[in-house]
Structure 1
Amino acid sequence: MARLATVVGMSAQPEITQRDLRNRSREIMDAVQSGQSFTVTRDGHPIGQLVPLRRRRRFVSRREFAAMSKAAPDIDIDTFRADQDATADTCLDDPYAR
Structure 2
Amino acid sequence: MQLKAIGQRELRNDNAEIMRRVEAGEGFVVTRNNKPVAQLLPYRPEAPSRPPLRDVQVLFGTLPPVDADRWEADRNAADEVFGADDPLEDPWQR
Scaled by the length of structure 1, what TM-score is found? Answer: 0.49
CA distance in 2, matches of 1:37, 1:45: 17
C-alpha spacing 1:25/1:75, structure 2 compared with 1 (3 Å) = same
After TM superposition, the structure 1 = structure 2 runs for residues 57-96 of structure 1, keeping only pairs within 5 Å, are 75=54, 78-83=57-62, 85=63
Asked whether 1:54 is paired with 2:44, we answer yes
After TM superposition, the structure 1 = structure 2 runs for residues 7-26 of structure 1, keeping only pairs within 5 Å, are 12-26=2-16
Of 25, 38, 54, the residue aligned with 1:35 is 25
- Counting matched residue pairs gives 61
Please say if residues 2 and 27 of structure 2, whose CA atoms lie closer than 8 Å, have aligned partners that are also in contact: no
CA RMSD of aligned residues (A): 3.0
- Identity, in percent, stands at 37
SS of alignment partner, residue 54 of structure 2? coil
Q: Which runs of 5+ in 1 are unaligned?
A: 1-10, 58-72, 87-98
Q: What's the CA shift for 1:52?
A: 1.0
Offset from partner CA, 1:42-72 (integer Å, 9 cap, x none)? 1111111101110468xxxxxxxxxxxxxxx
C-alpha spacing 1:82/1:39, structure 2 compared with 1 (3 Å) = same
CA distance in 2, matches of 1:42, 1:24: 16
CA distance in 2, matches of 1:77, 1:32: 39
C-alpha spacing 1:76/1:36, structure 2 compared with 1 (3 Å) = closer
Bigger Rg, structure 1 or 2: 2
Moved over 4 A (4+): none
Q: Which runs of 5+ in 2 are unaligned?
A: 65-94
